[in-house]
Amino acid sequence: MTMMQFLDSNFHGMFFILIYVLLFLSSVLELGSASTPSQLQLEANAIINSGWWNLSSSDSHHICSLNHGIHCNVVGSVIGIKYQCSEGRIQLATLNLSVFKNLESFEVTHCSLHGTIPPEIGNLLKLTHLDFCYNSLSGNLSKLTIFDLSYNSLEGKIPPTIGNLSKLFHLDLSHNSFHGEIPPTIGNLSNLTYLHLSFNTLQGEIPPTIGNLTQLWSLVISNNYIEGFIPFELSFLRNLVFVNLSYNKINGTLFLSLSNLRNLKNLDISHNLLTGPLKPFSVQDFPSLESLNLSYNNLIGLPLLLNAYKVDLSFNNLKGPIPDGLNPYVLKGNKGVCSDILHVQTEYQFQPCLVRHKKLTQSQNRLIIILSVTIFLIMIFSKLLFLRHNRTVVKNKDARLTKISKNGDLFCIWNYDGSIAYEDIITATEDFDLKYCIGTGAYGCVYRAQLPSGKIVAVKKLHGFDATHRHIVKLHGFCLHKRIMFLIYEYMEKGSLFSVLYDDMEAMEFDWKRRVNTMKGIAHALSYLHHDCVPPIVHRDISACNVLLNSNWEPTVSDFGISRFLNLDSSNRTIVAGTIGYIAPELAYTMVVNEKCDVYSFGVVALETLMGKHPKDILSSLQSTSTICEILDQRLPHPTVSVLQDIVVVAIVAFACLNPNPCSRPTMKCISQCFLTRLTPFNIPLHHISLQQLRSRELTHYLKL
């Protein structure tokens, strides 16, 4: 072979070798002293000495090729660390971060990482990506462009200095314990596209400076204590696609702040205190809208047209006939909504539409005028009769009060003629004039009232009436008398969950879908008691006997006989109370009651509902190797694909609630939110899922518990 033939046959290989050499030299020139042998050795020693990896000193020259989540540049300097956990807990302090001068990406997730965030992170000038999610860190924030500290134990207020992170475009501080107000300086993050602050205890109003975040496309501040109006400046964020402000205390009207958000696809402002009219949704206003949830507010009126694929306007104060084409389900819980369709009236408890929106004839108009005049005259005549009768009542009232007091308590007269008691109180307080006010509490003002008999009483006028949660049994009335005391509740046709599960006929009618919906309803009720009531209420006796089912198999939590308010300034110590088999184990030695006691009881009831019997064997041996298929109620047919996912989710939630460590149990708010979230379907067959897998940290994190 001649020299020319040799060069010609190897030309392509030599060409690529030359290109590689040039790239290598350019990298060396660019990195300079950062890639010296001593620098590389320092990085290797830091990785070996951290104890995170099972490495020895002999591996120091092969750090970049060991495929341990360590990424290097062409000269061997570490530019990325992605730690894969095995077992145990690790600390950031054991890894000397100060030596990684070229580090660009640092990820340590789902590792039970604890301790504080080392200040050396602030000196990593090339670091652009940091991810510490699903750990137990505490400490301060750092300067980054992608900043994710979700699912940790960070406390305190969000520092105003966060506004100095001018390059930040992704900020996730969700599922921590931040409190206080959202700092107005957050408006300085002009590059921000993703802001997630949910599941904290943030208070105050949304700062108007949020209108500066013109690049923002996702805004999530749900599950906090945010109050006040939605700032008008929010309408400046025309790139917004996803907005979730649910589970807060936001009030005021709605749509003035959202009128320009034409790219909006998902809007959730449910479980707030919104008031005012519900402006009609139209294609012109929100052409991209796909999902709308405004449930559990105080909105009035009715929409004329909705183009959203998924709508929920339930539990407001909407009135009027159901618009054409709108599913009645989305308007349930609105007592003013009416329908002329019989099965819709029955299923959703809507009233019939008595007033028709039709053009009236001349004779009909004449009839209406005559009836109106007649009714007016009758009202005047009735008023005159009432005034005459009232004077007689005033003369004889003292005598009657004395007579009735002989048969029982003086205030038993309220049980016989409530109008007399009402008139007495209104007269004695001059319609609750402030000059009679002697105190103010969390639920109302207390007034001094002197009754006609001369007796002086204290009257508490409540600030308002909040409707009971739909999954908490409703109290219709009560009677207090020295001979008898009784309460009047709504009637639940199916009786208790216990009686249904232990009756073979009813248990078979209580199918998988109904059982899953029962657990969801109980979770929502307990979330309401723990997180929406002030102060929080702990039930203390959640059991199958205290869950009642109506004729539609909808659950309600009942029997609040041993419930108590949680006092944040008290140890909340108490005697052990509740039903044997449902009581959280820590009560036996701490005697401290908190909401996690209800969480444990909920876990027992959830398993009992799936199994059809009390899970005492599983509770006594949490090391069982059985599959979920083996423990399900055998009286029911095998679950269908449509409900299979929900059954697995309930089982995962149940075992998370039964964690022996109360601090590791999820909150009922997290559980309630989990049941409202659409999850990616599981690909594992039911008979392959063991109880051990259901307790795994991976599945718990999958549900964000």
| Spatial separation of the C-alpha atoms in residues 177 and 653, rounded to whole Å | 22
- Say if strands 537-538 and 564-565 run parallel, antiparallel, or are unpaired: antiparallel
**CA–CA separation, 651 and 662 (whole Å):** 18
Q: Evaluate whether 703 touches 674 at the Cβ level (below 8 Å).
A: yes
Superfamily of domain 495-703: Transferase(Phosphotransferase) domain 1 (1.10.510.10)
pLDDT score at 241: 92
Q: Which of 9-18, 273-282, 456-465 has the highest mean pLDDT?
A: 273-282
Average pLDDT, the chain: 76
Whole-number pLDDT of residue 370:
65
395 is in an annotated binding site: no
Q: How far is CA 502 from the centre of its chain?
A: 32
CB atoms within 10 A of CB 303: 22
**Nearest-angstrom CA–CA distance, 342 and 384:** 42
pLDDT at 32 over 50: no
Domain residue ranges in the chain: 38-139, 419-490, 495-703
How many angstroms separate the Cα of 674 from the Cα of each of 251, 402, 657? 25, 59, 13
Mean pLDDT of 273-281: 74
CA atoms of 147 and 43, how far apart (whole Å) = 24
Determine the pLDDT at residue 94: 85
| pLDDT band at residue 221 using 50, 70 and 90 as cut-offs | very high
Residue 633 contacts by C-beta under 8 Å, 6 or more apart in sequence? 507, 610, 611, 612, 613
Among 194-198, 296-300, 477-481, 590-594, which stretch is predicted with the lowest mean pLDDT?
Answer: 477-481
- Token look-up 């108009």 returns 365
- Residue 123 has what pLDDT? 75
List the one residue out of 103, 112, 87, 114 whose CA is nearest residue 46.
103
Torsion angles phi and psi, residue 602, rounded to 5? -60, -40
Cα separation, 460 vs 444, whole angstroms: 6
**Phi-psi region at 320: left, alpha or beta (left = phi > 0; alpha = psi -120 to 50):** left
Given a cut of 60, is residue 405 above it in pLDDT? no
Q: Which of 296-300, 515-519, 578-582 has the highest mean pLDDT?
A: 515-519
Torsion, Cα of 651, 657, 661, 663 (10° steps) = 130
For 359, residues 6+ apart whose C-beta sits below 8 A from its C-beta are: none
Q: Give the Å distances, CA to CA, from 107 to 178, 345, 411.
A: 22, 55, 68
172-208 residue pLDDT tens: 999 888 999 999 999 999 899 999 999 999 999 999 8
Residue 235 backbone phi and psi in degrees, to 5: -70, -10
CA atoms within 13 A on the CB side of 31: 24
What is the layout of strands, in order, in the sheet containing 170-172? Answer: 70-72, 78-83, 105-108, 129-131, 146-148, 170-172, 194-196, 218-220, 242-244, 266-268, 291-293, 310-312
In the predicted structure, residue 414 carries a pLDDT above the cut 80: no
Tell me: pLDDT of 363 over 60. no
As a residue count, the chain comes to: 705
Report CA-CA distances (Å) from 261 to 108, 170, 227, 294: 37, 21, 21, 16
Handedness of CA 317, 320, 326, 329 (dihedral sign): positive
Please determine, for residue 118, whether its predicted confidence score (pLDDT) is greater than 70. Answer: yes
Q: Looking at residues 286-295, what average pLDDT do you find? A: 84
Q: Is residue 697 very low, low, confident or very high in pLDDT (cuts 50, 70, 90)?
A: low
- Which pLDDT does position 575 carry in this prediction? 54
Phi (first) and psi of residue 563, to 5 degrees: -65, 160
Whole-angstrom Cα distance, residue 95 to residue 118? 10
Q: 3-class DSSP state for residue 363? A: helix
Q: Which of 285, 541, 559, 646 is catalytic?
A: 541
Q: Name which residue leads in pLDDT, 646 or 399.
A: 646
Give the integer Cα–Cα distance in Å for 328 and 337: 9
Quote the tokens at residue 246. 């649910």
Express each pLDDT in 469-528 by its tens digit. Answer: 788 887 766 655 555 555 667 788 898 999 999 999 999 999 999 999 999 999 999 999
305 vs 424: CA distance, rounded Å: 49
What is the tens place of the pLDDT at every residue in 237-248? 989 999 999 999
Task: Please give the angle made by the CA atoms of 676, 682 and 683, to the nearest 5 degrees.
Answer: 165
Highest mean pLDDT among 82-86, 214-218, 430-434 belongs to: 214-218
Burial 31-47 (b: 16+ CB within 10 A, else e): beebbeeebbebbbebb
Q: Is the pLDDT of residue 4 over 60?
A: no
Exposure string (b/e) for 425-434, b if CB count within 10 Å is 16 or more? beebbeeeee
28-42, 338-352, 459-473: range with lowest mean pLDDT:
28-42
Instruction: Tell me what percent of the residues of the chain surpass a pLDDT of 90.
Output: 23
259: left (phi over 0), alpha (psi -120 to 50) or beta: alpha
Output the six-digit token pair for 140. Answer: 């301060």
Instruction: Output the CATH code of domain 419-490.
Output: 3.30.200.20
Query: Distance between CA atoms of 408 and 410, rounded to whole angstroms?
Result: 6
Question: What are 90's two structure tokens?
Answer: 């690790």
User: Is residue 379's pLDDT more than 80?
Assistant: no
Helix/strand/coil percent split, the chain, to 5: 40, 20, 45
Query: Other C-beta atoms within 10 Å of 391: how many?
Result: 8
Instruction: State pTM to two decimals.
Output: 0.41
Model pLDDT, residue 199: 92
The three-class DSSP label of residue 117 is: coil
**Contact (Cβ atoms closer than 8 angstroms) between residue 174 and residue 200:** yes
CB atoms within 10 A of CB 393: 14
- For residue 307 the two structure tokens come to 């183009």
CATH number of 38-139: 3.80.10.10
pLDDT higher than 80, residue 9:
no
Instruction: Quickly state the pLDDT bin for 376 (edges 50, 70, 90).
Output: low
Q: Model confidence at 623, in pLDDT bands (50, 70, 90)?
A: low
pLDDT tens-digit readout, 261-276: 888 889 999 999 988 8
Encoding tokens for residue 97? Answer: 């971060």
Q: Tell me the HSE value of 29 on the side-chain side, using a 13 A CA sphere.
A: 6
pLDDT, tens only, 123-135: 787 887 777 776 7
Domains 419-490 and 495-703 share a fold: no
The answer to whether residue 541 is catalytic is yes
Residue labelled with tokens 């002197």? 450
**pLDDT given at position 469:** 76
568 touches 535 (CB < 8 A): yes
